[in-house]
Homo-oligomer: A and B are copies of this chain.
Amino acid sequence: KRNDIGSTASCYAKAYLGETSLGGKAMRAFPADMLTVNGYLGTDGIKPFVEQILAHDKSIFALVKTSNPSSGELQNLKLENGEYVYERMGALVEEWGKDTVGKYGFSEVGAVVGATHPEEAENLRGKLKNTFFLIPGYGAQGGNAQMLKVCFDKRGLGGVVNNSRGIICAYKKPEYAGKKYFEAAREACVAMQRDLSATIGKMS
């Protein structure tokens, strides 16, 4: 989760998504396809990333409604116009991505929308028609397929579900006791895939 003001954001954007000049040679410093960014600084902190997205066919996800317990302290404050802070951030994300919408109708500037806050997720899915969601909070943080299905549109599209600790640390769970690390991780992946496709696959 990176960000800074314009000039430094530009260097971050080039380092992660684009190319950096090193000894006169264009090099890819950290060749990533996607990066999570924080939009608290506003448009001039995000624009440099959008430039690299357009130049190098990359994507970013901006924090909108995060999965952690106290995310509402700032994100769920109500503005004088009746909007919530997270809704405003979502609207900025939709705006930042508008020149990068692809054939499925989603832009390259996505939103982080936690599986642990289904009400806000449903609200955002209804408003941000062109924004793809990165959905953390599944597994270790308590999110499940029922909770996060609201992040997907009627076609069953619109999001990717992230699960880190639930897979990496599966071998520590009682239900995988005695299994090797990689066996437990594989089984946790398969279980997650079944859970998600049974729920989201049913949408039409």
Residue of B nearest to A44 (CB): B70
Q: How many residues of A contact B (CB 8 A)?
A: 38
Which of B4, B45, B68, B136 interacts with A42 by CB under 8 Å? Answer: B68
Q: Is the CB of A92 within 8 A of B73?
A: yes
* A199 part of interface (Cβ distance < 8 Å): no
Q: How far is the CB of A7 from chain B (nearest CB, A)?
A: 7
Please state if B42 and A73 are interface contacts (CB–CB under 8 Å). yes
Among the stretches A13-21, A76-84, A178-186, the one at the interface with B is A76-84
- Residues of B contacting A75 in the complex (Cβ-Cβ under 8 angstroms): 40, 42
- Name A44's contact: one of B45, B69, B78, B79 (CB within 8 Å): B69
Given A5-B68, A70-B45, A74-B85, A63 and B40 contact (CB-CB distance below 8 Å): yes
- Chain A residues within 8 Å of B, Cβ to Cβ: 1-7, 38-45, 63, 66-75, 77-80, 82, 85, 88-89, 92, 136, 141, 165
